[in-house]
Structure 1
Amino acid sequence: MVGLFWVDRDGCWLGSPPGEEGVGIRLTAEGLEMVGDLETAGGVETAGGVETVRGLETVVESAVVRKWTQIEQVAVPDAPARSTFRRGLSMAIDLATTMAGFGGPEGAPLMTVRITRAAGESEHTAGESEHTAGESEHAAGESEHAVSAAAGPAYTEREVELSHRLLARFVAGELSPSLLSDWWRSAGCPGTPKPAEREALLEQWCGQ
Structure 2
Amino acid sequence: MALEFTLKSSSTHSTSQRQGCMIGLFWIGTNGAYLGIPSFAPTSGLALSPAGLQTLGPESRAWAWSELQDVKVIGVPAEPTLGERVESVVSGLLAFALGGTPGLRDMPDMMTVELGTAEGTIEIPVASGTSAYSRQETALSRTLLTRITQGTASPAVMTEWWNETRTSAILPSHERETVLQRWLAAQGTWRRPGSEGAVCGPTTTPPEPE
In the superposition, the TM-score normalised over structure 2's length comes to 0.69
Residues 64-117 of structure 1 show CA distances to partners (whole Å, capped at 9, x for unaligned) of 111111112111121111169788656533321213449776721111111112
Alpha-carbon contact 2:76-2:128 (below 8 Å) kept: yes
Partners of 1:14 and 1:93 in 2: how far apart? 30
- Identity rate of aligned residues, in percent? 29
Whether 1:2 and 2:23 are equivalent positions in the alignment is yes
Residue in 1 that maps onto 2:116:
116
Mark the structure with the bigger radius of gyration. Answer: 1
Residue in 2 that maps onto 1:71:
68
Q: 1:35 aligns with which of 56, 59, 62?
A: 56
Residue in 2 that maps onto 1:93:
90
**Displacement after TM superposition at 1:207 (Å):** 2.6
Please list every run of 5 or more consecutive structure 1 residues that lacks an aligned counterpart in the other structure. Answer: 39-62, 124-140
SS in 2 for 1:197: helix
Distance 1:84 1:176, change over 3 A: farther
Partners of 1:200 and 1:82 in 2: how far apart? 18
Distance 1:82 1:64, change over 3 A: same
Q: Deviating runs (4+, > 6 A) in structure 1?
A: 84-88
Higher RCO (C-alpha under 8 Å, 6+ residues apart): 1
Partners of 1:89 and 1:206 in 2: how far apart? 34
- The one-letter code matched in structure 2 to 1:179 is V
Residues 123-182 of structure 1 show CA distances to partners (whole Å, capped at 9, x for unaligned) of 3xxxxxxxxxxxxxxxxx21111111122x222221111100000110111111010011
Structure holding more strand per residue: 1
Alpha-carbon contact 1:33-1:64 (below 8 Å) kept: yes
Distance 1:90 1:113, change over 3 A: farther
Whether 1:159 and 2:137 are equivalent positions in the alignment is yes
- The one-letter code matched in structure 1 to 2:62 is V
Aligned CA RMSD, in angstroms, stands at 2.5
Q: 1:12 aligns with which of 16, 21, 33?
A: 33
Alignment length (residue pairs): 162
Distance 1:82 1:20, change over 3 A: closer
Distance 1:166 1:89, change over 3 A: farther
Please list every run of 5 or more consecutive structure 2 residues that lacks an aligned counterpart in the other structure. Answer: 1-21, 187-210
- The one-letter code matched in structure 2 to 1:112 is T
